[in-house]
Structure 1
Amino acid sequence: MKNFVRWRSLSSALLLPLSLGLWTACSSPSSPETVKNTPMKDLHTYAKPEEVKMKHLALDLAVDFSSKTLSGSATIYFDKSDFASLWLDTKALEIRKISGADGSERSFKLHPAQEHLGQALEIALQDGDTSVRIEYVTSPEAEALQWLAPVQTAGKEQPFLFTQSQAILARSWIPLQDSPGIRFTYEAKITVPAQLMALMSAENPTEKSADGVYRFAMPQPIPAYLMALSVGDVAFASVGARTGVYAEPSELERCAYELGEMEQMLNAAEALYGPYQWGRYDVIVLPPSFPFGGMENPRLTFATPTIIAGDRSLTSLIAHELAHSWSGNLVTNATWNDFWLNEGFTVYFENRIMEAVYGKEYAEMLASLSLKDLQEEVAAMTAAGQAGDTRLKLDLKGRNPDDGVTSIAYDKGYFFLRLLEERVGRDKFDVFLKEYFTTHAFSVMDTEGFIAYLNTHLLEKNGVAVDTTLYAQWIYGEGLPSNHPQPSAARFEQVDTERSAWEQGKAATSLNTKAWSTHEWVYFLRTLPETLSLEQMQELDQAFGFTQSGNAEIVTVWFTQAVKLGYEAAYPAMEAFLVKTGRRKFLMPIYSQMAATEQGMRMAKAIYAKARPNYHFVSSNSLDKLLGVTAQ
C-alpha cells in the first residue's frame, strides 16, 4: 500500500485489546504447502488459530448494486481439530446459516461487538469437521466496500464496486480469520450484472463473461488483508508478456501508455531479488474515489487514476506495489506492530527498481523527498505528543492498526535498510535480501525474528560486528537518528539555483524548467519562501499553470500553499479537485491547511459536505475526525 497519514509526496480511535494467542508462519521453504508455525500474538483478531486455523476459503457471492450488498456463502476449510469451536472475525455481517460438510447445521454465536473489531463468530464444531459453510449477507455500510454510482465513474453509464481490506476490513465482507499472520488459499465464484466484469486478487479473466459469472483461484496462500474484489465496466490491455492493465474503456489507452514500462520493472525486480512467484502482474486503474495510491493485491494491484499524468512521471507507485510482491505479499509482517517489515522493505525495493529503470539521479530525487517528508512528520508527531509512534516497532495494543500507517514504517524503515546497505556494501546486502525473500517465501516475520536473521545472515556472515545500539536507535528508539543516510539529488541543486534566481527578481517565465519532472516541480513548490505575496503566487500561476495542472502531486502542494496564503484564484479548481479525488494522501494536507483557521474550517466543511459521498470509508474516517464531522 502506498499512502499514509503524512502523505508521501510520491506515494485512530481506540480498540479494546484482546489477549488471544496467534500461531503464524515464521519461516519456511519457498513452497506454499510447507509453512511452519510459531506463536505470535495478534491483538487485532478474534481468531484462535492455535486451536483451529483456516487453510482454504471458497466464496460463492452475488453482487447486488441495488441493495449495495454481497450475498452468498463462504466455506472455511481447516485441519481436523480436537477443539470444540472455530473462531472467526466478522463486522456487521448478517449470518443466516452455518452448516458442516454433511449439510447439517452447526450452532454458532455472534459475540458482542467491540468498536473497530466487529464481532467474534464462534462456530460449534462436530467430531471430524474439516469445513463449515457460512451463508451470509454484507451490510450496505460495509467499511471495505465502496459502491459507486455511474456518475462517479469515467464512463458515467455503469456502477462500480471495489474493496479495500487492509488493515482489518476484510471481516466486513467475508467471515474469516482476519490477521496478517494467517495465510490461506482461496477460490471464488462471483456473479455480477452481465454487462460488468469481476476481478479479484487471483487468476483473472481478460474479457467479460456472457452470463456475468466469474470463477477465480488463488493457489498461493495469502493473508486476509489481500482479499480483493472489483466489479465494473472495464477492459484489458496487455503491456508485456506477464503484465497488463485494466481500466474503464474510455481510459484504457491512456492508462496502458502510462503503465507501459511495467514489464521492465518486473524484469528489474527479478534481477535483484529472485523470481516473481505470482504468475501475472496486472494493474487495475480504479475510479478517483479509491483512497490510496495503490494496494498490492496479489496478481492485481489496485491503483489510483491520479498517477495517470501523461508522462510516466508518477510510476514509482507501480514500482512500490510491484515490490510488495516480495516484501509484504511473499514475506508478511506477523502482526500490525511489525508493519515496517512490509513497507520499509518495499520502499527500499521500490527505490532500487526505479534506479534500475530510470537511473540513480532519478532514484535519489525520490529518496531526498522521502527524507524531507520523514523529517517533517517526525517533528509534527513529536510536537503532538506522539513520539512513541516514531518507533519502527509499534505498540498498537488497544488501537486501530491504521494508526501505524505513517511515513515512519515507510521512510524510516527505508533509511534503516539503506544504512545497513552502506555498512556492508550493496553486493552483500543484495545477496542477503534475495536469500531472505527466498527462505521465508509464503511465510511471515516479526521484528525480533528479523533482527536474529539479520545478525546471523548479514552481519556475522560478513564479519561485521553486531551493534545493538543500532537497533535501539532505529527500531526501538524514537525519532530519526542522526546517522541516517544522506541522499544526494544533483537535479534538486539545479532547482535551487532557478528558485534563488526567481527570488532575486528573475521573471518566472525565464526560468530554465523545460526538463523538469514532477519531482523537481514538487521540490520547487515545497521549498518556496514561507511568505510569498499574492502577486508572486499569481506570477508563478500564470507562468506555469499550477492551478489548472492535471498532475495531482503538483496541485496538492499548490492548493495547500494557496490556502495558507489566501490565493483565492485557486479555490474553485481546488474544490473541484477535492470533490472528484478520494485519495487520502491528497485530501488530508489540503483539508488540514483549511482547518487551521476559523474561516478555512468553514470552507473545508462546505466542500466536504459535497465531497464526502465520493470518498471511501478510509478517507472519510480520517476527515470526519479532522473536521469534527459526525459519521453519516
Structure 2
Amino acid sequence: MGEIDPHSFTKGSEPAIDEMSLSLYLDFCKCIVEGWALVRLARPHTGPFSLDSRSLSIHSVVDSERQTPIPFSLSSSPDPIKGSLLSLSLCNQSSFLISYSTSPSSSALQWLLPPQTLNKSHPFVYTQCQAIHARSLFPSQDTPSRRFRFSAFLNIPSHLSAVMAARHVLRRPPHSRDPSSWSHPQHQHGRVVEEFVMDHPIPPYLFAFAVGQLGNRVVGPRTRVYSEDSPSLLDSAAAEFSGTEYLIREGEKLFGSYEWERFDLLVLPPSFPYGGMENPRMVFLTPTVIKGDATGAQVVAHELAHSWTGNLITNISNEHFWLNEGFTTYAERRIVEAVQGPHSASLNIGIGWRGLQQDLDRFKDHLEFTKLKNNQQGIHPDDVYSQVPYEKGFQFLWRIERQVGRPAFDEFLKKYIATFKFKSIDTQTFLDFLKANIPGIEKQIDLVLWTEGTGIPPDACEPDSSLYKNIVSLADDFINGRMPRDDEVADWQGQQWELYLDNLPKSIQPSQVIDLDSRYKLSESKDYEVKVSFLQRAISCGCKTYYNEVEKTLKGVGRMKYLRPLYTALVKDSGNEDGKVFAKRLYSEARECYHPIAQGVVEAIFAKHL
C-alpha cells in the first residue's frame, strides 16, 4: 500500500505508532526544542519505515531495547508541502529512540520575546500543529488517520510554567534519567520538568503545549481558564467563560458523555492565528473572544463541540475536513440554541451563510475547493482553509435534520459518535453509516451532489428567523441612504452588527460609511468581529479615513480571520497603489508578531495581488 494521505509520507503497509514518549528541552535563547522521541509501534516491522518531518535535524536513531543504531536517511530535497521524508531501516523492531532538534523556523512553534508578551518580563512559546505542522515539532506519522497515546516531559526554566493538552502528572527537578538532561548536564540548574500524559489516542495535530508566566482562575468543576499572569486579563476571561460548565452539560445531553475529563481554556497572546483550537483537555483561544458580554462563549461552544466531532471522531485526511468542521458547526449551534435560544442560533447560521458565499466567490476559479470531499493532492491545507467545510458541511447536516426530523437525527448522531469514537473515518464511511441507519435517505437527498458537487446545492437555505430577516432587510435599505434608527438597534450586540455589516451592498460610498460610523462608532468597537467587518467595508469602498484604525488592528492581533480580509481589501484593487504600499509597510513592521502560519497566509495574498 502507498501513501494514505496526500499530505503525509505515511504508508498503509507500515504499522501505526501506538505510543510516543517525548522529552523536550525548550531552549528560549536559540528558539529551538531539543527532543528525544521514544516511539512504540503497534507491531514489529521489518523494512523501510516512513515518518514526516519538516525543518528537523535528526541526530540519531537507536533501537531502544538493544541500544544499537538504526540506519536512517532524511530526504535532501524537501517536498514544499510534506517536508522531508525520514526513512528508517527496521529489522523486526517495534520501538526506537530518535534524537533530534527543531529549527527556529518551525511552523508549529511561535517563540515570543518578553517585549512581545503582555507583562513584557518573560518569554512565551506555544504550539499550533493543525493542519500538518506537528512534523516540525517531532518526527511523526503526521496524518489524522493515525492516532497515538503519549507522555511528554517538558524541560523548561523554573520561573516559567507549562500547560498541555494532556493530563498533568507533576512538576519536579530534572534528573539523570531524563533524556532532556543528557546533552545539558551543566545547564539543569534553574530548570524544572513538567510531566504530562495523554491516555486517549489522538491525531498528531491535537498535540499542544504552551510555556510562559501563567496564571489561572477556576470557572467550573471541570474548567480552569489560563493566560499570561495578569489579574485583569484572568478576571475578564473568567467572567466571559463563567458559563462553560453549562455548555458542557448541554453538550452531554445532545451527544453523550464528555470523554476527556477536563475542559480547560488557555487565552493566548494576540498573535494566535485562530479563534480557537480544540486541543483535548486544553482549548487554546485568542484574546479577541473576550468581549465583555459573554458572547465569546460561542467560540468556546465550537471548541467544546469538537470534543465529540473532531477529537473523538476525526477526518481521515484534510480532504474530508468537513467531517470535523461541518459536524462541529452543527453541534456548536445546537449547544448555542439550547443555552442562548433560537434567535442567537439563527444569527449564527446567517453569519455563516454569508461567510460561505464569500468563500465560494474566493474559490470561483478553483471550484474543487467548494466541494465537501475534495482533491488536495499537491495543495497545502493552509492555502485552502475556508468556511466551506464549516458552513457547507453544516448546511448538509441541517438538510438531513429537516428531512428526518430532529428527534430521529439526534438519535442518529448519538449512535454515530458511539460507533466511531477514537477512530478516523472518511466521507464514504459516514455516508454508508447514514444510509444504513436512515434507510432511503439517498432517495430523499442527493448525497453525491452535497458531498462531491461544487457550490451550494439548491436545497440549502438561510435561517427562517424574523430577527435575521429584519437585519438583512435593514442592510439592503442602506443603498437608499437609510441607516437603522436608534430604536431599531438599541438592543443589538456584536452578532447583530456583524450580520448587518456583512450584508451591506457592495456599492456604498465613503461618505455613507463615515456617516454610519459617526453615529454608531463601529470602528471603535471592542468586538473585533464588528470592527474588522466595518474596516473591510471602509477599505473596499476607497475610504482611507480609517487607515490608522486598520494599522492598529493589524499590529494588535494576529488572528487570520482578521488579517485575511483586511490585507486582501488593501491590495485587491489594482488601482489602489496607496493601499498596496500601506499594506506592505504594515506587514514588514508587524510580521514578527504574527504566527508562521499567519505569515504564510498574508504572503500568499501578496503573491496573488501584488
Judge same fold: TM > 0.5, yes or no: yes
Q: What is the SS of the residue equivalent to 1:75?
A: strand
Q: Is the 8 A contact 1:52 1:83 kept in 2?
A: no
Q: Is the 8 A contact 1:51 1:83 kept in 2?
A: no
Partner in structure 1 of residue 185 of structure 2: none
Q: What one-letter code is carried by the residue in structure 1 that aligns with 2:563?
A: L
Q: What one-letter code is carried by the residue in structure 2 that aligns with 1:123?
A: L
Structure 2 residue 128 is the aligned partner of structure 1 residue 167: no
Root-mean-square deviation (Å): 2.2
Partner in structure 1 of residue 494 of structure 2: 518
Partner in structure 2 of residue 184 of structure 1: 148
Unaligned runs of 5+ in 1: 1-18, 22-40
Partner in structure 2 of residue 625 of structure 1: 604
Residues 1:512 and 1:140: Cα distance change in structure 2 (over 3 Å): same
Structure 1 residue 177, shift from structure 2 partner: 0.9
113, 124, 148: which is aligned to 2:89? 124
Which residues of 2 match residues 25-104 of structure 1 at below 5 A? Answer: 41-101=4-64, 102-104=66-68
Partner in structure 2 of residue 397 of structure 1: 377
Distance 2:472 2:322 in 1: 33
Structure 2 residue 79 is the aligned partner of structure 1 residue 114: yes
Distance 1:579 1:82 in 2: 50
Which residues of 2 match residues 446-525 of structure 1 at below 5 A? Answer: 446-457=426-437, 459-460=438-439, 464-467=440-443, 470-496=446-472, 510-525=486-501
Q: Is the 8 A contact 1:206 1:236 kept in 2?
A: no
Q: Is the 8 A contact 1:185 1:221 kept in 2?
A: yes
Unaligned runs of 5+ in 2: 174-189
Q: Is the 8 A contact 2:207 2:279 kept in 1?
A: yes
Structure 2 residue 343 is the aligned partner of structure 1 residue 361: yes
Residues 1:506 and 1:169: Cα distance change in structure 2 (over 3 Å): closer
- CA offset digits 1:85-125 (Å, max 9, x no partner): 33211111111111112322222111232112111111222
Partner in structure 1 of residue 527 of structure 2: 551
Comparing 503-512 with 246-255, greater Cα deviation is found at 503-512
Structure 1 residue 401, shift from structure 2 partner: 2.4
- CA offset digits 1:477-525 (Å, max 9, x no partner): 1110111133123223443566678776777774432211211111222
- CA offset digits 1:27-69 (Å, max 9, x no partner): xxxxxxxxxxxxxx21221123522321001011111111000
Structure 2 residue 274 is the aligned partner of structure 1 residue 309: no
Number of residues of Structure 1 aligned to a counterpart in Structure 2:
586
Partner in structure 2 of residue 579 of structure 1: 555
Which residues of 2 match residues 200-215 of structure 1 at below 5 A? Answer: 200-204=164-168, 211-215=191-195
Q: Is the 8 A contact 2:241 2:296 kept in 1?
A: no
Structure 1 residue 314, shift from structure 2 partner: 2.9
Comparing 407-416 with 504-513, greater Cα deviation is found at 504-513
Q: Is the 8 A contact 2:45 2:94 kept in 1?
A: no
Q: What is the SS of the residue equivalent to 2:343?
A: helix
Residues 1:510 and 1:177: Cα distance change in structure 2 (over 3 Å): closer
Q: What one-letter code is carried by the residue in structure 1 that aligns with 2:410?
A: D
552, 559, 570: which is aligned to 1:594? 570
- CA offset digits 1:365-391 (Å, max 9, x no partner): 100111122123223322xx1112111
Structure 1 residue 267, shift from structure 2 partner: 0.5
Structure 2 residue 109 is the aligned partner of structure 1 residue 145: yes
Distance 1:400 1:360 in 2: 37
- CA offset digits 1:402-447 (Å, max 9, x no partner): 3442211110000000000000010000000001001111001111
Partner in structure 2 of residue 247 of structure 1: 227
390, 411, 425: which is aligned to 2:391? 411
- CA offset digits 1:113-146 (Å, max 9, x no partner): 211211111122234x321111111001111111
Q: What is the SS of the residue equivalent to 2:60?
A: strand
Q: What one-letter code is carried by the residue in structure 2 that aligns with 1:114?
A: D
Structure 1 residue 571, shift from structure 2 partner: 1.4
Distance 1:466 1:569 in 2: 54
Structure 1 residue 353, shift from structure 2 partner: 0.5
**Larger relative contact order (C-alpha < 8 A, sep ≥ 6)?**
1
Q: Is the 8 A contact 2:160 2:211 kept in 1?
A: yes
Partner in structure 1 of residue 261 of structure 2: 279
Distance 1:259 1:72 in 2: 35
Q: What one-letter code is carried by the residue in structure 2 that aligns with 1:262?
A: T
Q: What one-letter code is carried by the residue in structure 2 that aligns with 1:578?
A: L
Comparing 599-608 with 423-432, greater Cα deviation is found at 599-608
Residues 1:208 and 1:551: Cα distance change in structure 2 (over 3 Å): farther
Structure 2 residue 303 is the aligned partner of structure 1 residue 321: yes
Distance 1:110 1:395 in 2: 27
Which residues of 2 match residues 423-438 of structure 1 at below 5 A? Answer: 423-438=403-418
Q: What one-letter code is carried by the residue in structure 2 that aligns with 1:70?
A: V
Structure 1 residue 205, shift from structure 2 partner: 7.3
Partner in structure 1 of residue 177 of structure 2: none
TM-score w.r.t. the length of structure 2 is 0.92
357, 360, 363: which is aligned to 1:375? 357
Distance 1:160 1:205 in 2: 22
Partner in structure 1 of residue 122 of structure 2: 158
Structure 1 residue 319, shift from structure 2 partner: 0.8
TM-score w.r.t. the length of structure 1 is 0.89
Residues 1:564 and 1:511: Cα distance change in structure 2 (over 3 Å): farther
- CA offset digits 1:284-321 (Å, max 9, x no partner): 01001111111111111111111111111232111111
Partner in structure 1 of residue 327 of structure 2: 345
Distance 2:223 2:351 in 1: 29
Residues 1:426 and 1:157: Cα distance change in structure 2 (over 3 Å): same
Structure 1 residue 151, shift from structure 2 partner: 1.8
Distance 1:480 1:507 in 2: 31
Q: What one-letter code is carried by the residue in structure 2 that aligns with 1:73?
A: W
Residues 1:219 and 1:386: Cα distance change in structure 2 (over 3 Å): same
Distance 1:311 1:206 in 2: 36
Distance 2:10 2:412 in 1: 34
Comparing 150-159 with 271-280, greater Cα deviation is found at 150-159
- CA offset digits 1:193-222 (Å, max 9, x no partner): 112111111013799999532000000000
Residues 1:139 and 1:353: Cα distance change in structure 2 (over 3 Å): same
